[in-house]
Amino acid sequence: MLDDRNRWMASLPTAASALVTDLADVRVRGYLKEHPDIVAHNLDRITAAVAEVRAVVDRERAAGAWGPLEADVAAEHDEAAAEFADHSCDCPFCVCAT
């Protein structure tokens, strides 16, 4: 049985995974396969998480405690995305499941 913290930690990846599928449905089919209330529920969870993290990003940027970033954020993201795309697993939740 999951405690509240672990339930919360499992909730966001579940909603994010659904978002990826929902976005693919919209882009490929032009419509949702899931009921809009289900999609909205997941979007609410993601939106709340983004707002919470964005507030901390803004606060820490404003505080000036971080020096300039020397990494190429886009290149590092593309590398991580390529690594993700190249993997395969048996997880029923993974978009790369084989």
Which residues lie closer than 8 Å to 19 by C-beta, 6 or more apart?
42, 43, 46
Residue numbers of the domain that contains 19: 4-69
Report yes or no on 31 lying in a domain.
yes
Which residues lie closer than 8 Å to 33 by C-beta, 6 or more apart?
21, 22, 25
Residue of 39, 44, 41 whose CA lies nearest to 21 = 39
Report yes or no on 65 lying in a domain.
yes
User: If phi over 0 gives left and psi between -120 and 50 gives alpha, with beta otherwise, what is residue 93?
Assistant: alpha
pLDDT, one tens digit per residue, over 31-84 is 999 999 999 999 999 999 999 999 999 999 999 989 999 999 999 999 999 998
Number of domains in the chain: 1
Report yes or no on 21 lying in a domain.
yes
pLDDT, one tens digit per residue, over 5-36 is 778 788 898 999 899 999 999 999 999 999 99
Interatomic CA distance for residues 95 and 87, integer angstroms: 10
